[in-house]
Structure 1
Amino acid sequence: MAFTKGAGPTRRGLTVGVDIGGTKVAAGVVTPAGRVLARLRTETPHRSKSPKVVEDTIVGVVEELRRDYRVEAVGVGAAGFVDERRANVLFAPHLSWRDEPLRDSLKTRLGVPVVVENDANAAAWAEVCLGAGRGLRDVVVVNLGTGIGGAVIIDGRLRRGRHGLAGEFGHMTLVPNGHRCECGNRGCWEQYASGNALTREARELAVADSPVATRLLDAVGGDPGLITGPLVTQLAREGDRASSELLEDAGAWLGVGLANLAAAFDPQLFVIGGGVCEAGDLLLEPTRQYFRRNLTGRGYRPEAQIVRAALGNEAGMIGAADLARDALPRRRAGRRQNRLAVRDGR
């Protein structure tokens, strides 16, 4: 468990944001202005373990952060379906939660108000309030991590859907009868443009003993099972053609999916976040090319910009912490800062 403490005195109005993905749990103490005072990161318990093990991990990181800061509420960004009450995780493809009453369990154990939100919604909230989408009213955020999450802000409101399940773009069927997805379907978008997809394709290339995969294999001592997405990005930056092509392929699939989303939502801006975006323009340039190529009515309509998220991997944590203030009594939460460009459309 890695802990980083920032400078600055203890103050009021602090909340903890917890971002839970398929591979990591990141938490931080966040001010009302979005400044992260302390950070903590640990691995997500393996999905075969009970939901309580993940819950214990959340409690552990929050308690560690509360040793030095007075925390008034906790927000959890969960990689899964969160109900309309922002209380239960109905389904998490990369974890073992199934209709898990996470909010109430954590509230009982931590003794402070708790809000549970989909992790992509939390990240989107942060980006439109403080990041790349600040000041815009129609934004689609797509997070590329272990899978693909997403969120939609239309007319300045976070759209969660009737049951809280909107924005699960990663499980749109992009390729009928394509790769099997952990959600149970085939051909989901995240099987082609996520971190898992990038890793799978790189390993398959190496297993095939392709001559173009020489640098990939050399970098892992000949063991394809050690190839990771960050390694592919690193080698691409160093000029390895095969790694660059793998990122181009992921970018192409990303662009196709974004063109579909543009047809549905017509946003001003696409914000692309998540760990895979560390590749920068190695990923986003082919994304923009394939987006234009597949955009409905191309050449006869305004084209949404595609930009990298400004808050990086901390967006989900910051957004969850900010949304946690909704659980505070109004006299303690105070008025929203003028910096907020949108309001939560629950």
Structure 2
Amino acid sequence: MEAPDKLLGIGISIPGIISREQHMVIKSHALQIENYSLSFLEQSFSCPVYFENDANAAMMAEDIHQYQNAIYLSLNNTLGGAFCIDGKLFTGQNQKAGEFGHMILVPGGRKCYCGKKGCADAYCASSTLTAGEYESLELFMEALASGKSEAKKKWEEYLDNLAVLISNLRMAYDMDIILGGEVGGYLSDYMLPLGEKVLKYNGFDRDTRYLKNCTYRKEASAVGAAKYFFNRIE
């Protein structure tokens, strides 16, 4: 039962390109929908409803006052991204800014779910770690912690690919990079080896202090979508 006197609104994060003005999912490869109206969801509630791309919402969950200029890498089952400039989320001309998962990382490489080959998503999403014998990222990380050789080999390859992506983003934007999503939640224990790999590809930075761990290890996009309403009343 809704309590209108206490409920500011409902925030919904969606893996796709969102038009907030038209209240529509313009395109979502993950959900396999295009030009999908969200009006029916608004009509289901008697309070304001806010729709946001999941990576943008995860960026909003972070302290924007702390990260005036920053990139957010959402390392989930699919790879998303977002960034803020002067403390404000930047979405680009067509709400496609931050689609780092579909930057080509390896030309002609693995096939991505979007249909292209060699996308960063095919190498740096958490699904690359769980493919095969591991049913979840948690089980993979347990295998890695226990020293299983197959898990260690896969993790080293993953960090190598992630280091290339991070280096490219740092060169392009010269901002702090927040490592979020499912994998980001575990990376706090592996910042040293990741930093060493990044420095091999980046000769302009002497250290990797610009790499930051995410605040919310799980459900960051849900937190960010909810924070939208708190930010409106500040």
Specify the code of the residue in structure 1 equivalent to 2:221.
Answer: G
Distance in 2 of aligned mates of 1:298 and 1:115: 39
Identify the match of residue 164 of structure 1 among 90, 95, 98: 95
* Inter-partner Cα distance in structure 2 for 1:98 and 1:181: 18
Structure 2: distance between partners of 1:283 and 1:195: 15
Contact preservation (8 Å) 1:73, 1:325: no
Identity of aligned residues (%): 27
- Who is 1:105 aligned against? 40
Secondary structure, aligned partner of 1:72: coil
> Cα RMSD (Å) of the superposition?
2.4
Structure 1 partner of 2:49: 114
Instruction: Give distance in 2, aligned partners of 1:275 and 1:264.
Output: 24
Cα distance in structure 1, aligned partners of 2:56 and 2:173: 16
Q: What does the per-residue CA deviation read over 1:12-58, in whole Å, with 9 as the maximum and x for residues that have no partner?
A: xxxxxxxxxxxxxxxxxxxxxxxxxxxxxxxxxxxxxxxxxxxxxxx
Cα 1:251–1:151, aligned 2, differ >3 Å: closer, same or farther?
A: same
Question: Does the C-alpha gap of structure 1 residues 128 and 281 become closer, same or farther in structure 2, counting only changes over 3 Å?
Answer: closer
Q: Select between 111-120 and 80-89 the one with higher mean Cα deviation.
A: 80-89
Q: Structure 1: state its 5+ residue gaps.
A: 1-62, 204-223, 327-332, 337-346
Per-residue CA deviations over 1:125-158 (Å, capped at 9, x if unaligned) read 11134xxxx5231111101111111111122221
Secondary structure of the residue aligned to 1:165 is: coil
Alignment of 1:199 onto 2:107: no
Aligned length: 234
1:291 Cα deviation (Å)? Answer: 1.6
Residue number in structure 1 paired with 2:17 = 81
What letter matches 1:314 in structure 2? E
Residue 322 of structure 1 aligns with which residue? 227
1:324 Cα deviation from its structure 2 partner:
4.0
Q: Indicate whether 1:143 and 2:107 are aligned.
A: no
Q: Which amino acid aligns with 1:92?
A: S
1:258 aligns with 2:177: no
Superposition deviation, residue 297 in structure 1: 2.8
Q: Which residue of 1 aligns with 2:141?
A: 233
Give the Cα separation in 1 of the matches to 2:17 and 2:152: 33
**What amino acid is the match of 1:91?**
K
Do the aligned residues in 1 keep the contact of 2:20 with 2:51 (CA within 8 Å)? Answer: no
Is residue 2:26 matched to residue 1:90? yes
Residue in structure 2 matched with residue 214 of structure 1 by the alignment: none
In the alignment, the residues of structure 1 paired with residue 114 and residue 193 of structure 2 have an alpha-carbon distance, to the nearest angstrom, of 27
**Is 1:279 equivalent to 2:215 in the alignment?**
no
Change (3 A) 1:112 1:281: closer
1:280-338: per-residue Cα shift (whole Å, max 9, x none)?
35554333222211125344xx7552122112213211110122457xxxxxx53x2xx
Report the TM-score when normalising by structure 1: 0.62
CA separation of 1:284/1:95 partners in 2, compared to 1, >3 Å: closer, same or farther?
Answer: farther
Shift of 1:83: 2.2
